[in-house]
Amino acid sequence: MARPQNASGERTRQAILDAALTLFAERGFFGTSIRDIAGAVGITESAIYNYFPGKTELFEALFSAEQESVMQMLSTLKKEPIHDARATLTSLALFVVAQSTEPSQQQLFRIFLSDGVRLARDGRIHLLASISNRYTTLQDLMRRLVRNGALRRADPEQLASEFIGPLLLWRLMKAIGSDFAIVRDPEAFARQHVEQFLNGAGRTAAVRSPRPIERSGHNALTTRRFRPRPSKTDSTEAEDV
């Protein structure tokens, strides 16, 4: 089979991305130059500009590739009918933790924490739209689960936050090298997280409050009175009135 004419260019572009990912993770965005990346790939600086206008665009391209895989997963969940809420949410949680354990994803997350937030706040990169897109899709999923009765009636945005929050915390703990049990066993954590989420957000019958104990027609918790404590010489024990 003939090799596509642009195969060499695609390999070079990917090599640039791979080198940038490694260097950004090690030195940070501000500590890495285009010259450093070109040297790691073995090409000239000018060759990089054939693929990326600048270092910022190269930085964004790294997250765009990651965004594509996440949105593909979320889009699949969005389109497919939901027959089992637990199975659907478990699939999503397992995907998140499995992806987070990949070396390239761990590097991306470290880059995001060290420089991504700063660059986004300065308006130099456009990560907000990417994150918002994921969050909106997750809200849509929660809205469907509420609509079909799998979850209690609640704000889909709040439900999305409650679901994704622990997964983001898990990813942070993974990034900083925590040795907690939940980090050592990602699959067990993902499954337990879904159970905890459903226990809190699942549609269950309201639990009736126990009736207060009443005595002589009065609520014992509000009308109970006591005699003064007897003196040491008084052998008669105080009784409730």
CATH class label, 7-52: mainly alpha
Query: What percentage of the chain reaches a pLDDT higher than 90?
Result: 44
Mean pLDDT calculated for residue range 182-190: 93
- Cross-strand bridge partners of residue 218: 215
Considering the chain, what is the average pLDDT of its residues?
A: 80
Domain ranges for the chain:
7-52, 60-201
How many CB atoms are closer than 10 A to CB 119?
19
218 phi, psi to nearest 5 deg: -115, 150
Q: Please, which pLDDT band fits residue 202 given cuts at 50, 70 and 90?
A: low
Q: Please, which pLDDT band fits residue 205 given cuts at 50, 70 and 90?
A: very low
With a CB cutoff of 8 Å and minimum separation 6, the contacts of 12 are 41, 43, 47, 51
**pLDDT 10s digits, 129-173:** 677 888 888 999 999 999 989 998 999 999 999 999 999 999 889
**pLDDT 10s digits, 207-216:** 443 444 344 4
**pLDDT 10s digits, 67-100:** 777 778 777 877 788 889 999 999 999 999 998 8
Interatomic CA distance for residues 221 and 101, integer angstroms? 54
Could you confirm whether domain 60-201 is CATH 3.40.30.10? Answer: no
- 123: left (phi > 0), else alpha (psi -120 to 50), else beta? left
Interatomic CA distance for residues 107 and 89, integer angstroms? 26
